[in-house]
Amino acid sequence: MKVLIVGGGGREHAIALSMKKSSRVDKLYCVPGNAGIAQIAECEPSIGVMEFDKVIAYAKEKAVDLVFVAPDDPLVGGLTDALEAEGFRVFGPRKNAAVLEGSKAFAKDLMKKYNIPTASYETFEDPEKALQYLETAKLPIVLKADGLALGKGVLICDTLEEAKAGVKEIMQDKHFGSAGNKMVIEEFMTGREVSVLAFVDGKTVRPMTSAQDHKRAKDGDQGLNTGGMGNFSPSPFYTEEVDDFCRKHIFQPTVDAMAAEGREFKGVIFFGLMLTPEGPKVLEYNARFGDPEAQVVLCRMKNDIMDVIDACIDGTLDRTELQFEDNAAVCVVLASEGYPVAYEKGFEITGLEHFEGKEDYYCFHAGSKFDSAGRIVTNGGRVLGITAKGENLKAARAKAYEAVEWVSFDNKYMRHDIGKAIDEA
């Protein structure tokens, strides 16, 4: 098979590596890709993920047998539909299903209608009404821009003043663009956060092993929300009991609800969960693999990823069981100093050769490229996802923090407490 992956971050590098292991894949392509993905796939850096016509033309030119659409923007924008209309076999939800991530108001209304546990909420299109509502709301309170906002459109407000400023930021100043045309205001929940990614074929849902993200930029969960500064898998807090509850009250009901709404979901659903004192509740849905969740989950999956992909597309996932290694993985993101706000790019990355031939160590490229002299240089806020597997979480963490020292680039920045929660388990 010839496979095209759409995307160019650490997640896509992890997906590419899983596909590379499959005996069924002869040739991998990736748009735009990055300097790491280029080691295992032919990349076309000039094609952006939102340039649907160019993606389709490239898929035709390479006569690919399958296209895997990985990032949120093209999924929510309908790249799956556009490719299918041209006769391609595609992994990733259609536009009418990707709305599960594309609109938080849609997701909240779905959960309310189908009794899926989540924080109570109200939706607003008029900022005046939102401000009025806040006057009597309980604090802290959570404001969410309705649409996609690079994982940054969520504000947790401790005071009424902050909340009012938040409404202005989201709905009037349009800090997150049109994502803020609508807004969800929801109850603040407390508890541990866990992510569970699941393969879905429209009817059947097969959860993968759990993971836990670190979204804030700085140690001790300080600083701004980012796309993710590191994570680990499995989460020791995602017990069998919690898993039973989630399968019964969250995972299957979500898939059934989407089908009942005529929005059959095929692809990966990312369940962002909070383990509250009243039980697990949904924080958010994503319509795709997480980044860096894919990095710590896929490296532990024993199945041939192509078999699972086929089962999702063909609706035969009920005949597939997922299998994961009985170990753990930790990913520490090496970012550019200043991420997620302002940072410089174009610094040479050295030491990458240390990963060659080392089992259980992975250097997933998130933001890298070749410069005109052919050197690998930084090209994003998140630069590398240094990942290691170990027999347990502590061992994996020690190995990941050993490997972060192997690579160097100017303005290298990381958190030092990825997986610290493991010590409390």
Binding site for ligand AMP (CB under 6 A): 119, 142, 151, 154, 156, 186-189, 193, 215, 225, 272, 283-284
Q: Which of 182, 291, 295, 368 binds ligand GLY (CB under 6 A)?
A: 291
What count of other Cβ atoms lies within 10 Å of the Cβ of residue 167? 24
Look up residue 275 and give its amino acid: L
What count of other Cβ atoms lies within 10 Å of the Cβ of residue 162? 15
Closest distance between ligand AMP and the C-beta of residue 332, in Å? Answer: 18
If the CB atoms of residues 25 and 287 are measured against ligand GLY, the closer one turns out to be 287
If the CB atoms of residues 4 and 333 are measured against ligand GLY, the closer one turns out to be 333
**What is 158-215 written as a DSSP string?**
SSHHHHHHHHIIIIIS-TTGGGGSSEEEEE---SEEEEEEEEEESS-EEEEEEEEE--
If the CB atoms of residues 215 and 266 are measured against ligand GLY, the closer one turns out to be 215
- 290 near ligand GLY (CB under 6 A): yes
If the CB atoms of residues 29 and 271 are measured against ligand AMP, the closer one turns out to be 271
If the CB atoms of residues 215 and 382 are measured against ligand AMP, the closer one turns out to be 215
Q: CB-based contacts of 176: which residues, under 8 Å, 6+ apart?
A: 145, 147, 149, 152, 153, 170
- 293 near ligand GLY (CB under 6 A): yes
Q: Which of 146, 186, 201, 213 binds ligand GLY (CB under 6 A)?
A: 213
Q: From residue 255, give the alpha-carbon distance in Å to each of 51, 267, 282.
A: 30, 11, 14
Rounded CA-CA distance 348/355 in Å is 17
- 228 near ligand GLY (CB under 6 A): yes
Q: For strands 2-7 and 27-32, give the pairing.
A: parallel
- DSSP-derived letter for residue 324 is B
If the CB atoms of residues 72 and 310 are measured against ligand AMP, the closer one turns out to be 72
If the CB atoms of residues 204 and 367 are measured against ligand GLY, the closer one turns out to be 367
If the CB atoms of residues 230 and 280 are measured against ligand GLY, the closer one turns out to be 230
- CB-closest chain residue to ligand AMP: 284
If the CB atoms of residues 133 and 188 are measured against ligand AMP, the closer one turns out to be 188
When CB distances are held under 5 to 8 angstroms depending on the partner's kind, the choice from ligand GLY, ligand AMP, none that residue 228 binds is: ligand GLY
Letters for 137-166 (x = contact with ligand GLY by CB under 6 A, - = none) are --------------x---------------
Closest CA to 196 of 235, 240, 154: 235
Closest distance between ligand GLY and the C-beta of residue 130, in Å? Answer: 25
Closest CA to 169 of 188, 143, 187: 143
Q: Which of 123, 209, 286, 336 binds ligand GLY (CB under 6 A)?
A: 286
When CB distances are held under 5 to 8 angstroms depending on the partner's kind, the choice from ligand AMP, ligand GLY, none that residue 131 binds is: none
Closest distance between ligand GLY and the C-beta of residue 228, in Å? Answer: 3
When CB distances are held under 5 to 8 angstroms depending on the partner's kind, the choice from ligand GLY, ligand AMP, none that residue 284 binds is: ligand AMP
How many residues sit close enough to ligand GLY to count as binding (CB under 6 A)? Answer: 8
Structure tokens at 14: 């992890």
Could you give the 3-state DSSP secondary structure of residue 3?
strand
How many degrees, rounded to 5, is the angle at CA 11 between CA 16 and CA 352?
75
When CB distances are held under 5 to 8 angstroms depending on the partner's kind, the choice from ligand GLY, ligand AMP, none that residue 286 binds is: ligand GLY
- 230 near ligand GLY (CB under 6 A): no
Could you give the 3-state DSSP secondary structure of residue 317?
helix
Closest distance between ligand AMP and the C-beta of residue 410, in Å? Answer: 30
Tokens 């993905």 belong to which residue? Answer: 37
Contact 366, 34 (CB under 8 A): yes
- 92 near ligand GLY (CB under 6 A): no
Structure tokens at 257: 């609800």
When CB distances are held under 5 to 8 angstroms depending on the partner's kind, the choice from ligand GLY, ligand AMP, none that residue 193 binds is: ligand AMP
Q: Which helix (H) or strand (E) holds 81?
A: helix 79-85
Q: CB-based contacts of 216: which residues, under 8 Å, 6+ apart?
A: 222, 223, 224, 225, 226, 229
Positions touching ligand GLY (CB under 6 A) are 151, 213, 227-228, 286, 290-291, 293
